[in-house]
Amino acid sequence: MGTGWGEPPLTEQGAAQLKAWRTTTRSPGATRALGRLLGKVAKPQTSVCLIGDLGAGKTTFVQGLAEGLGISGPVTSPTFTIVSEYQGRLPLYHADVYRLGEAAAEEPLGLEEYFEGNGVAVVEWAEWVEPLLPDDRLTIRIERAGEANARVVEMAASGPRHRALLREVIRRWSDWQSTPRQQP
């Protein structure tokens, strides 16, 4: 199922059963726009788990998400601080466990507090802390596509809250695709 560039929108029945979705962004600006859209529809206790190689666009996506939450100012990857906090419509807790590597799950990071809080918790390199992740979450994999700046973005929702969130992201992305001059 898809509603990416040039693909037909999902039917209402298809969207209701949706657990995963895939689209392609053609530029860093479009990747950021997809993140912005998620930020606009995010609710308290939104948990976003980002997976992708170095330079895939994870931080670009988070910068857009922060914009969607109304956060102004620079948002950078918190590689050395592990977690950065930003205030907007909802708080954004941005974790990056890259520096800890595959041993990150063994570290006392306190990620559970962020997942259970009233904000949006985002973890880059989430695959390294899999045992610490909440069951109800949105997992986003970002990979380079064939074109220089193109990215394949796959979103998988587990749990009812994040499936509803994913449906809203898809609906708004599809609307934005039909009128690309508007900002999501």
CATH number at residue 108: 3.40.50.300
Q: Is the pLDDT of residue 105 over 70?
A: no
Q: pLDDT band for position 6 (50/70/90)? A: very low
Confidence of residue 103 (pLDDT cuts 50, 70, 90): low
Count up the domains in the chain and report the number: 1
Q: Give the whole-number percent of the chain exceeding pLDDT 70.
A: 83
pLDDT for the residue 184: 58
Whether 148 is in a domain gets the answer yes
pLDDT band at 47 (very low <50, low <70, confident <90, very high): very high
Residue 109 confidence class, pLDDT cut points 50, 70, 90: confident
Residues 155 and 161: their CA atoms lie apart, in Å, by: 14
Asked, for residue 18, whether it belongs to a domain, the answer is no
The domain of 44 spans: 28-176
Quick check: is 79 in a domain?
yes
pLDDT in tens, 65-101: 999 999 998 898 876 778 889 999 999 999 888 877 7
The mean pLDDT value for 102-125 works out to 81
Is residue 22 in some structural domain? no
Establish if 16 belongs to a structural domain.
Answer: no
Answer yes or no: is 35 within a domain.
Answer: yes
In a domain, 71, yes or no: yes
pLDDT at residue 4, as a whole number: 37
Q: State the pLDDT confidence band at 143, using cuts at 50, 70 and 90.
A: very high
Q: Is 19 within a domain?
A: no
